[in-house]
Chains A and B, each alone.
Chain A
């Protein structure tokens, strides 16, 4: 995920190293030189590492003559550190944002490519959580935690080098508390995680009470139970408050105790340093250098403990992301060639089952002539929708053969196939964009004439025109709410724009009234005669005018025939026909 911009992360680390070395090596040593050699006439020590820098500003002798040169050198280090800090921030944000973007893009792309069946069972909320908050956890780790780690590493290294050059004893003293500080914070945050989690859960409970009480406000009122709701809420509210406060108390202990530890470290360094200057083992400048460095070092170490304790959270987030990415995506047929798909459709002994479970088709066979209109009747769960989805390879058949114009479906690329088959799904989905945008989904460069032609055929033009903003009306959450029938009509128009060789209407006229239904079918049959069309419906009037009617029962083609043939035979079709026509007469 970091490919291509890992260099940004590496550079950010290098900037951190630069700022660490200037902060804990240059600044303290320059201060030591100023205090010892410039302000007092101690014999000049050779601080090899910084001498080249000192010489840039006139050397120690130059400083002795003009102290402002020393001040300039100090100011330069401050500017350099500022530059490093800026570089680090900029680079690490580029690195982490690039990585996060790539993760989000990959997730989106991958989710779209997951097979149809995955989406039938997908848990939207959970998936979104993985794509958003888990990615965010990872991003935060990359942008903040990695920098904390780098800071701790480079600060201690630079400080160690600087301190050893001045005094070994004091170096030892300064580092003595560090492991304690680290472990203290590491263990604390590990332990306290349970409390954090409990608090999260409590918050969830509180939200649930709130949510249920607001959505169920009718029940609450009708039962006169406002008092109960208030009591319930107050109880959860208090529990949550107490837990959160308990967490604060833990934190109060931690921050004050760890502050005390850190201060103890600083003070010990200072006091031992005083003794060492007294015995002549350390200069005043050296003491100031140690003191400056100790102040800067302790806090990153404490932070490191915290970061390390959070590793597991990050690990979990990454695992959850990869769980999605490792789901096998739909694969297109390799080397499949484009093929003319105008022709007969032949199902021969087709077998299909979802996964390893229930067998849906155990050898279904039929032939549909090019340009024929077939309507399909079947009970819920009989497999009629699945049959249609097989034709688009949204589900792949497991046995037998399906050919279109003599070409086996498996050998045709899915992209090519889906271009050739237009389907209006049972529950059509409209994107929350304008109606026009939705129609353009099927074909980017659709002309206005084509668009109007399609909407007229789908009896949608009329109602769309009536909206204040016509085709530019937003649909969905942020726009108008279309009725079920209107949605279906827009979806039909959208599919028509594709100009496919085959059309499937999967119960997509169910929410449209009978009259409009007839209008649409009429317009469709006039529109293009050689398009093979499948219409699934439970309404006899929708089905009856087709060239042939398929009756599907329990995964089998129970009956085939024209309307007049089928009403002569006993069966599902006739039963439904009878019910539907029975009372028609009475009215």
Chain B
């Protein structure tokens, strides 16, 4: 199991995490205060209601002894005032409900949004090694479900706890005011209820977690069952798979029924305790009522109401306490992301002069001529795996370099070092004779043209995607770029032309079309240095020809690095480097290398065969 899998968190309270969260709450101090106030006032209003009932029964319903006449009568004199007050109390309660939902909703969403924004912002500074080692899904989960969890506990969790605590306090206070003897009895029952509640909430949480785990197994099994259905048919595994699956659903049913049973047990137990409390009050209070004296019908009724609803705040608090564990885990993970430090940072004086991604200072940027030097560069991963050692290379401005080699030979590392996605562990990379660490990342990357093997587009229109390369590009420039890479025709043939939506990740376009758009995006930037990771995937012959033509138009007059797969691309480069094991095995022009009859020669012939064969079988 790797550490990216969701683990079980059974840790105790971690003050550090909550302190960090508190920082996100400080902006909303005022709103928190209003939430606190509305929750507390609502609790007061709720606790006052039984007192109102008591007053009504004693004054309007019970017979009053009138000394003057010596008779028992019912007196409704104060009733209108009472109704007004009760109505007012209800209205007040409704207002409190409105205010607390409003404020809790605001806190929930605003704090979550703030955490998301801060995290997203932080991600932009993280280095490539982080993304190489962290699954996208993991990062996504921090910014989605975890921030929801954090927002939820800070708003509704907070609200429930405040409301419940105040309710408990006022219940106890009022009970003591009206009769301290029965109040003591109730007070004795409370700890028992609290212990039961905490116990149940804890096992309930575990049971729910168990059933969720089972559920994700079922989802995984569906996934496998559906993607593997064809193979299943050929192996006649249908029935066995079905049996296995029924085993999973059986386990899930068992776990879910267990969880439901636990929660189904908890509520009746609490009900029974409330029943015991009410029975005690009925028996003892009733005895006192019959005996006459200060214990009135109203007091009895009020006490019954208090006793009946006493369990609610207790179970609320227990629930929030158990939920806090999960929220703490969410917060912990998000904060770990927020606090992870980037490997590649610009020096303060460099940022001062050149700016960072938020405040770039292009006015101070030097023009790039295009000379690139790898000076005795060594690179290894943090795990210790050596990729390049003492690698040197000098590239003249405008030179086109092709990198050829097996997967894992170090080609991509060279590219990553050039783009400063990685930094050399030893040695340095010089651009126009200056170590690129002397200038900021944004300076280099603003001068870089970069086209990936698997073209990545963003949702939005074609125009927006091309403009990504140069945010100030005019309409003419965009059209010009599209024409240069031969994309203009297919774009204008689309329904909405340049306004056509490319779909999520560009999935409404074919791979070839995406590739062309990504070329246009790169060329409109007019970069001094060009990096191209050529696609190996087979696209139809016509598009391929177009892409080939586009590539060389783009590379014209720029220093370029091409991770090349196609002969036609390789052949036209000024210098070909055959990379193996982090070293340059052979280098030279196409002709020179072929004449050597070495590594390149065999690579070339193999590749040639493959390409020819593909062509034959495609037509």
Contact = CB atoms under 8 A, between A and B. Distances in A.
Contacts of B227: 124, 429
B228 to A, nearest CB: 4
B90 interface: yes
B609 A583 contact: yes
Interface string B501-539: 000110000000000000001000100000100000000
A168 interface: no
A94 B300 CA distance: 41
Contact of A111 (B218, B229, B504, B612): B229
Contacts of A579: 609, 612-613, 616
Contacts of B286: 34, 38-39, 67, 70-71
A222 interface: yes
Contacts of B264: 85-86, 88-90, 93
A291 interface: yes
Tell me which of B235, B419, B531, B609 has the highest count of chain A C-beta atoms within 10 A of its own C-beta. B235
A263 B94 contact: yes
A150 B240 CA distance: 40
B530 to A, nearest CB: 11
Given A225-B468, A260-B90, A241 B609 contact: no
B242 interface: yes
A427 to B, nearest CB: 9
B279 A244 contact: no
B263 A224 contact: no
A105 B246 contact: yes
A211 B74 CA distance: 72
Interface string B68-100: 000000101001000100110011011101110
B131 A79 contact: no
B224 A432 contact: yes
B196 to A, nearest CB: 13
Interface string A252-267: 1101110110011001
B471 A112 contact: no
A45 interface: no
- Which of A415, A495, A583 has most chain B Cβ within 10 Å? A583
A240 B144 CA distance: 12
B444 to A, nearest CB: 8
Contacts of B125: 226
Contacts of B521: 223
A233 B131 CA distance: 18
A90 B222 CA distance: 28
B436 interface: no
A380 B301 CA distance: 85
A119 B233 CA distance: 11
A302 interface: no
A67 B139 contact: no
A116 B229 CA distance: 8
A392 interface: yes
A576 B136 contact: no
Given A94-B257, A252-B102, A241 B90 contact: no
B17 to A, nearest CB: 23
B106 interface: yes
Contact of B290 (A67, A78, A291, A431): A67
Contacts of A238: 113
A109 interface: yes
Interface stretch (B53-61, B160-168, B565-573): B53-61
B218 A104 contact: yes
B278 A228 contact: no
B357 A224 contact: yes
Contacts, number: 370
A214 B105 contact: no
Contacts of A39: 286, 289-290, 297, 300
Contact of B235 (A68, A132, A441): A441
B231 A214 contact: no
A230 B124 contact: yes
B445 A222 contact: yes
Contacts of A278: 60, 74, 76
A122 interface: yes
Interface in B254-304: 256-257, 260-261, 263-265, 267-269, 271-272, 274-276, 278-280, 282-283, 286-287, 289-290, 297, 300-301
A75 interface: yes
Nearest to B106: A245
Contacts of B456: 212, 215-216, 218-219
Interface stretch (A179-187, A306-314, A417-425): A417-425
B61 A274 contact: yes
B283 A67 contact: yes
Nearest to B608: A583
A241 B617 contact: no
The listed residue with most A CB atoms (<10 A of its CB), out of B222, B234, B612, is B234
B234 A392 contact: yes
Contacts of A267: 83, 86-87, 90
B413 interface: no
Given A211-B136, A271-B83, A228 B468 contact: yes
B340 interface: no
B495 to A, nearest CB: 21
Interface in A420-453: 422-423, 425, 428-429, 431-432, 441-442, 444
A82 B271 contact: yes
A353 interface: no
Contacts of B215: 132
Interface string A506-530: 0000000000000000000000000
B179 to A, nearest CB: 16
Contacts of A274: 56, 60-61, 76, 79
B136 to A, nearest CB: 5
Contacts of B275: 74-75, 77-79, 81-82
A42 to B, nearest CB: 12
Interface stretch (A95-103, A159-167, A366-374, A461-469): A95-103
B28 interface: no
Given A124-B223, A429-B230, A82 B268 contact: yes
B260 A90 contact: yes
B253 A101 contact: yes
Contact of B91 (A234, A260, A442): A260
B223 A284 contact: no
Contact of B260 (A71, A89, A249, A253): A89
Given A86-B267, A220-B124, A222-B419, 11 more contacts: A78-B279, A82-B271, A104-B245, A108-B225, A112-B233, A122-B226, A224-B360, A224-B442, A252-B102, A256-B95, A278-B74
Interface of A: 34-35, 38-39, 67-68, 70-72, 74-75, 77-79, 81-83, 85-86, 88-90, 92-94, 97-98, 100-101, 104-105, 108-109, 111-114, 116, 119-120, 122, 124, 127-128, 131-132, 143, 207-230, 233-234, 237-238, 240-241, 244-245, 247-249, 251-253, 255-257, 259-260, 263-264, 267, 270-271, 274-275, 277-278, 284, 287-288, 291, 379-380, 392, 394, 415, 418-419, 422-423, 425, 428-429, 431-432, 441-442, 444, 491, 494-495, 498, 538, 572, 575-576, 579-580, 582-583, 586-587
13 contacts: A70-B282, A82-B268, A101-B250, A208-B459, A210-B120, A213-B458, A219-B450, A224-B360, A248-B109, A380-B618, A392-B233, A418-B236, A576-B616
Per CB-CB distance, the 10 closest pairs between chain A and chain B, nearest first, are A78-B275, A248-B105, A89-B264, A93-B260, A222-B450, A82-B268, A71-B283, A256-B98, A252-B101, A75-B279
Interface of B: 53, 56-57, 60-62, 74, 76, 79, 83, 86-87, 90-91, 93-95, 97-99, 101-102, 104-106, 108-110, 112-113, 116-117, 120-121, 123-125, 128, 131, 136, 139-140, 143-144, 215, 218-238, 240-242, 245-246, 249-250, 252-253, 256-257, 260-261, 263-265, 267-269, 271-272, 274-276, 278-280, 282-283, 286-287, 289-290, 297, 300-301, 357-358, 360, 419, 421, 441-442, 445-446, 448, 450, 452, 456, 458-459, 468-469, 471, 504-505, 521, 525, 531, 601-602, 605, 608-609, 612-613, 616-619
